[in-house]
Structure 1
Amino acid sequence: MTSNPGGGWKVFADGDVSENVPLWKALAQFTSDDLDEGLKSNAAIINQAKPIFARYYNAAFIVSMAFGFLFVIFLFAMLLSAPSKSADLFAFLTLATLAATAAPHLWRQLYQYGLKTPDAPLPLPYSPDGQFDEFLGYLQKASGPQAYYISRFGKRRMFLNRRQFFGRLRYFLFSEHSADRALVMRFRTGHSLPGDIFLHRDDVDKILSTAKPKRKGGPGRNSKYRYAEAIIALIGDPRLGALDLNDRVASVRTIKERLAEWFEVNADASGDVPRGDQLSPYAEKIVDHLKSLPPVQGG
């Protein structure tokens, strides 16, 4: 079976539950061969962006609930009031509180997907991640696998539009926690996504088999790199003596390049090497240490 709804899919009620792979699990498998390591790395990316959105969205929910409560009160007051100026006031307040109740939901939808239907992924309001974006690339294609959720009552697979993965909060769809996924509105509706989002097992296997050669030879986030050996290899390197430590940016860049060269030359069979941003903290510490050393006295 494939992700095509007409390709022999069973309903969840009489299908095999193991065919449904949660999106967060699929990304973790894509990120690392170790599922726990993949989950940990993905959670770190999501948690960096989450606090500000969780705070605003919780505030929007409270505001909506408060005005919704007032709407019910004013609605009853309007229905029970005889025609008068007070009844007109209650009618105005009822409409105002109704608008205020709906406003936070409309704001969330517009913020996430824009004023018109997006034709391409919208810019992210947080730092992008290569692994997330690569996996999302499969889901954003018109010919790509279709994600879905399980309906509460019919227990059927309900397929999501690929533009669901164009929104500004699309990374949160990969969270293991439902509270994070609830921040994301379902595309073209005012509702949050229910429960887990799934991919079919066949589609996950296809993505992993397609991406595995690239992952194997490219930089990884979860390998244990030999930083100590790389730093020791810098001892006696003439380029360190030629550094202008007053130019911190250039010095850090030079040391990063030297460390990157060492990892490329000494990579193991997997070809896995650290990214530049992983080397930056070490390069900065080396520069700070060199700058703290007393000047060498000439003989």
Structure 2
Amino acid sequence: MEERKEVLPLRIVAARFVDNDEQAGLAELDRIAADSSRLVQNRYLALWLALVATAISATLMLILGTVWTINGAPGADTMLIIGLACFILTMAVVASWRAFQYGGIKASAPQDAAYANPEESAARNLERLFALLQRESTLRAFYLKKSGVRRYVDHRYFFGKLRAAHVAREGAIRSALVGPVGFWFGRELFLEADVDKLIADAKAHPSRKGAPKQYDHTNAIIALIEHPQVRALDTSKKRGNQREIIELMEDWYRGRRLKVPSQTQLAPYANQILETIAKNRSS
């Protein structure tokens, strides 16, 4: 079979691995990334507080030590030593975050990914994509430099616990990533591949549920047909009845903390309820 390669954001490729409906897959990725982020948010907050504290301390101590050295003030050496110690602590904080993600300072093997539910279908399919990217092969993700030139990333970038962040929409979630070398890495990644072939090679099974329905009209209709106010309506007053049913439907959506459709969207369903009531009464 002839390959049909295309250049796509890694996020889009991942969405197709998760669900046959791309939009549904993207929604699942956002949920997975957010859940993964919540699992480590306390640790990440502590990291940032420690990083800021040690970095500020190192900067102040080194500046003071340098100024005191120039002025020949006593205690300058002590200040410089404290500043260097704070700088070392700053590097240690960054190193500890890398060790958390990669199981050590060096990324030598894939770590168990941080998923709220690693057994769910979406997480398993996403891991099948990452399993391909973890190979030292020709399938390599890349990011684009400002000049438009591709910069390919090492396969070890997908070894980390937080690899789901690579396919997150929010840059804030990706900002938690560090690379196997260097410091923070929050670039948007791309892939050039035949996605259908990748899915087949990975033995992934994207969900066929499709995009979730935006409005639950069916259950709203079923619930309101038996509503006491609706059953008491005089069906000869169609216009006033329609407005009353629309208001009841709006209350039904609000009561379930669902997005409320517009009155224009609800009008046909209100008429459907009225027609059902009229048929029931005539039978």
TM-score, normalising length: structure 1:
0.59
Bigger Rg, which one: 2
Corresponding residue to 1:150 among 111, 120, 144 = 144
Asked whether 1:170 is paired with 2:152, we answer no
Structure 1: state its 5+ residue gaps: 3-17, 225-299
- How does 1:4-15 map onto structure 2 within 5 Å? none
CA shift for structure 1 position 194: 3.7
- How does 1:31-180 map onto structure 2 within 5 Å? 31-81=18-68, 82-83=71-72, 85-115=74-104, 117-126=106-115, 127-128=117-118, 129-152=123-146, 154-180=147-173
C-alpha offsets along residues 55-111 of structure 1, whole Å, 9 cap, x if unaligned? 322332232123222222211211121456511221122112212222221111111
CA shift for structure 1 position 203: 4.2
CA shift for structure 1 position 174: 1.4
Greater RCO (Cα-Cα under 8 Å, separation 6 or more): 2
Determine if contact 2:101/2:161 at 8 Å carries over to the other structure.
yes
Q: How many residues align?
A: 202
Q: Percent identity?
A: 24
Corresponding residue to 1:195 among 175, 187, 209 = 187
Aligned-partner Cα distance in 1 for 2:172–2:133? 22
Aligned-partner Cα distance in 1 for 2:59–2:105? 32
C-alpha offsets along residues 245-279 of structure 1, whole Å, 9 cap, x if unaligned? xxxxxxxxxxxxxxxxxxxxxxxxxxxxxxxxxxx
Aligned letter for 1:112? Q
Aligned-partner Cα distance in 2 for 1:99–1:60? 15
Determine if contact 1:41/1:222 at 8 Å carries over to the other structure.
no
Determine if contact 1:124/1:169 at 8 Å carries over to the other structure.
yes
| CA 1:118–1:71: 2 relative to 1, 3 Å | closer
Determine if contact 2:20/2:210 at 8 Å carries over to the other structure.
no
Determine if contact 2:8/2:191 at 8 Å carries over to the other structure.
yes
Determine if contact 1:186/1:193 at 8 Å carries over to the other structure.
yes
Determine if contact 1:147/1:199 at 8 Å carries over to the other structure.
yes
- How does 1:196-275 map onto structure 2 within 5 Å? 196-200=188-192, 202-208=193-199, 210=201, 215=205, 220=207, 222=209
Aligned letter for 2:126? F
| CA 1:194–1:122: 2 relative to 1, 3 Å | closer
